[in-house]
Structure 1
Amino acid sequence: MDSFEDAFKALIGNEGGYSFNPADPGGETMWGVTARVARSEGYNGAMKDLPLETAHQIAKRRYWDPLHLDELDPRVAFQIFDANYNGGLVVLWMQKASGAKEDGKFGPDTLDAVKNADPMKFVMRFAAYRLRYLRNLHSWPSFSRGWTERMAANLLLGAA
């Protein structure tokens, strides 16, 4: 995995296509993009018809670029990107996994700490914090199998 394009392909492999599961707090989604996010990004069509290219643009603008993921080891960047797209306390996990000050605010100190962290240790720590978070969500019983598979697939990518 060397770029946003590679990371996006792997991400879409995790997300799949259209979903409208009543147990999902994200509601109706296509390519993992919620209707709320799609509308805020100017998409007004049916969610089932959301083009993959639109999801691609949203992913880059909202979930990749703000965290400067092009500056990081691709294995690290993918883990952060996937979590940021899927939801959670991503900046806090970045800080905890890299040894940065844990304040939940993204800035140059957090970015530098992540850049200087051992990539494999970072991936393992980040995944552990993310998995603990997922385990504590009220929707864990409904989505645990999918989230566990997603985390396993991500760890395999991180070890590549």
Structure 2
Amino acid sequence: MANFNLFLPELLKAEGGYQNKLSDRKGNTNSLGQMVGTKYGISAPVYEAFIKRPPTVADMKNLPLSTAVLIAKKYYWDACNADEIENQSVANLIVDHYFNSGKRMFVKQVLKDRFGAKIKVDSKISRDTIALINASNPEFLHFEKKKPKPNNNATTIVKPSYSHAWDWLVFTNKKAFQR
């Protein structure tokens, strides 16, 4: 089963420390409309929900790593039921997307729209969704071999987009959607 402690180094490497970019107004702005930034990937609205008041720039800059880890585990990892996902890399992919997409659950929308899965599209992963994820071959979620070009014998390996990867995952499990 996947483990949060194995995901954490990847999260911290990707998210880093404090930032306050104008291009990320949604994540950097508290409920008072003040640009206060993010730290360790924890957005101002999420930190506000955690401390139960609008954070200041000083609050965000001084956000302890231990608090950010607690928030990441509770609001993201646990919200995705990632401990129940058998493959660590798949869990990392799902939680990373959830972390960076404003808690949108892309996998459920793809399962419903493209393959007719009887899944309620919300910000939670149900046990049925986990079962579909665990029943799938995780290898393609990370790498896909492209066919060689006519004048080139080399086969390249590329990382697919999220929706492409989930299309494949569901395509390989069509029977699970024929209820």
TM-score, normalised to structure 2, is 0.62
Could you say what the CA RMSD is over the residues aligned between the two structures, in angstroms? 3.1
Paired-residue identity, %: 29
The one-letter code matched in structure 1 to 2:105 is V
**Is residue 62 from structure 1 mapped to residue 75 from structure 2 by the alignment?**
yes
What is aligned with 2:17? 17
Instruction: Choose from 109, 130, 139 the match for 1:120.
Output: 139
Distance 1:77 1:110, change over 3 A: same
More helix per residue: 1 or 2?
Answer: 1
Distance 1:124 1:90, change over 3 A: farther
Instruction: Choose from 41, 44, 47 the match for 1:35.
Output: 44
CA distance in 2, matches of 1:112, 1:124: 22
What is aligned with 1:144? none
Whether the 8 Å CA contact 1:88–1:130 is kept in 2: the answer is no
Structure 2: runs of 5 or more not aligned: 29-36, 145-158, 165-179
Whether the 8 Å CA contact 2:108–2:120 is kept in 1: the answer is no
TM-score, normalised to structure 1, is 0.69
Whether the 8 Å CA contact 2:15–2:40 is kept in 1: the answer is yes
Once the two structures are TM-superposed, the CA of residue 89 in structure 1 deviates from its matched residue by 6.8
CA distance in 2, matches of 1:40, 1:89: 14
Structure 1: runs of 5 or more not aligned: 132-160
Whether the 8 Å CA contact 1:20–1:29 is kept in 2: the answer is yes
Distance 1:124 1:130, change over 3 A: farther
**Is residue 129 from structure 1 mapped to residue 146 from structure 2 by the alignment?**
no
1:30-88 per-residue CA deviation (whole Å, 9 max, x = no partner) reads 11111111110117561000011111000110101122111111010000111111115
Once the two structures are TM-superposed, the CA of residue 108 in structure 1 deviates from its matched residue by 2.1
CA distance in 1, matches of 2:95, 2:47: 18
Once the two structures are TM-superposed, the CA of residue 94 in structure 1 deviates from its matched residue by 5.2
1:110-152 per-residue CA deviation (whole Å, 9 max, x = no partner) reads 1111111111223459951369xxxxxxxxxxxxxxxxxxxxx
The secondary structure found in structure 2 opposite 1:23 is helix
Q: If you compute each CA radius of gyration, which structure gives the higher value, 1 or 2?
A: 2
| Matched residues, number | 131
What is aligned with 2:91? 77
Instruction: Choose from 94, 105, 108 the match for 1:91.
Output: 105
The one-letter code matched in structure 2 to 1:23 is S
